[in-house]
Structure 1
Amino acid sequence: MSSEQLNRGRRSIPGQVYVLSTTCHARQRRFLTKASADCVITQFHEMETLGHVCSLAWVVMPDHMHWMLQLKSGTLAHLARRVKSSSALALNRSSGRQGRVWQAGYFDHAVRAEESLQRQAMYILANPVRAGLACAIGEYPFAWCVWGLD
């Protein structure tokens, strides 16, 4: 599917909170170590430093990631492209590998006013528990939340 088709109907509204998710190419488990997860986490921090987002919660799972953010500037498409390309480049360099890291596209969900931001964050933080990677929220090392719920 083309980038144009993937972006059809999407809105990027400054001030809106979104949950952005994407999966590794062929569901490969590329983020198993701190060094590999840091390739993605560094990009979350970079986008915040550049003033594009305010991060609210995130988790980097072995084969995918979820990021809850408040968009400050730019578009979701640009943000997703930048995080995915920069993290893939860093991961391939650090691992001595080549090739695709991420699947094409991404999923986004605009958090509606009536939805609880903390409930959305808890869903993200509980992802490793549901996957059997942790027994409780807060045990998984590659997850973070602004509210300190982890």
Structure 2
Amino acid sequence: MSTAHRWLAVLRIFLGLLFLESGTHKLSWGDLQAGLPIPTVSQGWREALPKRLLEFAEKNPIGWYRAFLYHAAIPNSRLFAALVAWGELLLGLSLVLGLFARTGAFAGFFLAGNYFLANSWMGPCQRNLDLLLLVVLLALGCVQAGQCWGLDGKFFPSRGK
């Protein structure tokens, strides 16, 4: 593998760790002494998300996305809290392990696209961060970043050749 592939692997793993931490933070892992805990969406995240979605919707200039937030996301905020928490956790695992990294990167692109549509109007800092995230995830998906230092390279060596 070339130096460029190695640097893409470093980028993939680092971004995966960020998503892994974010998803883990949104989950409650239960009592470790009671055996293997089954992670569930934390109560704090379930309670915070409807307020955050309302904030994203109130002045959102993208009419169709504002309608989506009001009519789909806010009324089903418990479901969306679970989707975001589990999505971030699984995306993080996919990128860190380099397993199904292409699929994970494109799923992350969809997730980051929603973040961008929800809050890009709130200021240039958030908009620029979300745009950077979109570009990096798109690039990781297009170059099959899981081939170097990832399980994709071990289990699916014919991909990317």
Q: Tell me which of the two structures has the higher relative contact order, counting C-alpha pairs closer than 8 angstroms and 6 or more residues apart.
A: 1
Say whether the fold is shared (TM-score over 0.5): no
- Bigger Rg, which one: 2
TM-score (norm 1): 0.28
